[in-house]
């Protein structure tokens, strides 16, 4: 367990840098999402072929891989847009509501009745979101749009979680899932970014450095460390540890971007974190990254 705990905390810290990289990027938000996965592909595929046996099983679940790729593309596209309009704290907290949407989906689609703590989690989540939205209204209408996009992000990430769970249940390895879904996500996001007319390429070496940091530190290393940790730690313990991610993201935004945190926003954030913790403890489901 000892190596897994530092991996969990370090991975959560790496992923917490994600919205900072997005804000600093010289490319547009959708283009940044494309480069996030595209620049990580050489490393991911090298690791797949070096450490794992690809075999035929990687291609046996084409529909699930496609679903995961589409879901992750939607997740990144909407989240990166959300980060442009609202605070890093609000965007990251709202995107982490994915675990609640996963449990709701299992309840509505497969009649998997959630445990009692989930009902309390849902009520807390709605109250926390109301506080965060009230804070956004005090700033600007664009902040409210960013909050809405954060909730849409959570829906797409819930879809991604369900697709990945299906792939893992059928024997797909972690690196295989990351490499294939990242490839599909890049293929989907590239034409979307082009069609949007936004800036596709960074204008300086600094801009490319930001994209490389996003791809290698956040996407490859952050996701990989968390995937390793989740395989060696109890699910409930891991979920509590991963709640550090939105907290650390808000701290980074405060220090690096001078993004203020007001009392009502902090209160809403604490309520949302409590709701996510309850949802995790009642279902053992996953996190945002």
Mean pLDDT by 10 residues, the chain (289 residues): 74 88 95 96 89 58 88 94 88 80 72 70 75 72 86 89 80 83 96 94 96 94 78 59 75 84 78 74 48
Which CA distances in Å does 147 have to 33, 62, 115, 220, 244? 18, 33, 28, 27, 20
With CA atoms as reference, report the closest residue to 280 among 249, 242, 223: 242
The pLDDT value recorded for residue 60 is 66
Phi and psi for 284 in degrees, rounded to 5?
Answer: 70, 30
The pLDDT value recorded for residue 264 is 75
The pLDDT value recorded for residue 13 is 85
Q: How far apart are CA 202 and CA 188, in angstroms?
A: 20
**Global pTM exceeds 0.85:** no
The pLDDT value recorded for residue 71 is 94
The pLDDT value recorded for residue 261 is 76
Which CA distances in Å does 284 have to 12, 102, 238? 17, 11, 9
Specify the DSSP element, H or E, that contains 196. Answer: helix 174-196
The pLDDT value recorded for residue 57 is 55
Q: Assign 204 to helix, strand or coil.
A: coil
Query: Nearest-5° angle of CA 110, CA 113, CA 118?
Result: 125
């Amino acid at each position: 367990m000892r190596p897994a705990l530092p991996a969990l905390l370090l991975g959560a810290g790496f992923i917490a840098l994600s919205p900072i990289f997005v804000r600093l990027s010289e490319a547009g938000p959708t283009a940044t999402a494309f480069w996030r996965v595209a620049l990580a592909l050489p490393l991911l595929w090298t690791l797949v072929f070096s450490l794992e046996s690809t075999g035929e099983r990687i291609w046996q679940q084409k529909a699930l891989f496609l679903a995961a790729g589409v879901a992750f593309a939607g997740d990144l596209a909407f989240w990166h847009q959300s980060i442009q309009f609202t605070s890093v704290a609000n965007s990251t907290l709202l995107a982490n509501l994915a675990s609640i949407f996963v449990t709701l989906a299992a309840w509505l689609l497969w009649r998997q009745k959630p445990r009692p703590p989930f009902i309390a989690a849902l009520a807390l989540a709605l109250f926390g979101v109301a506080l965060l939205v009230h804070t956004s209204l005090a700033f600007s209408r664009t902040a409210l749009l960013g909050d809405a996009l954060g909730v849409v992000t959570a829906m797409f990430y819930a879809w991604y979680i369900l697709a990945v769970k299906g792939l893992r249940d059928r024997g797909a390895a972690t690196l295989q899932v990351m490499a294939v879904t990242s490839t599909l996500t890049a293929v989907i996001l590239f034409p979307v970014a082009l069609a949007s007319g936004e800036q596709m390429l960074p204008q300086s070496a600094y801009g490319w450095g930001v994209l490389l940091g996003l791809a290698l530190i956040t996407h490859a290393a952050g996701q990989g460390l968390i995937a390793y940790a989740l395989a060696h730690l109890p699910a409930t313990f891991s979920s509590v540890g991963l709640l550090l991610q939105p907290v650390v993201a808000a701290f980074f935004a405060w220090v690096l971007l001078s993004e203020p945190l007001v009392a009502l926003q902090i209160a809403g954030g604490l309520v949302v974190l409590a709701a996510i913790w309850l949802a995790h403890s009642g279902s053992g489901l996953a996190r945002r990254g």
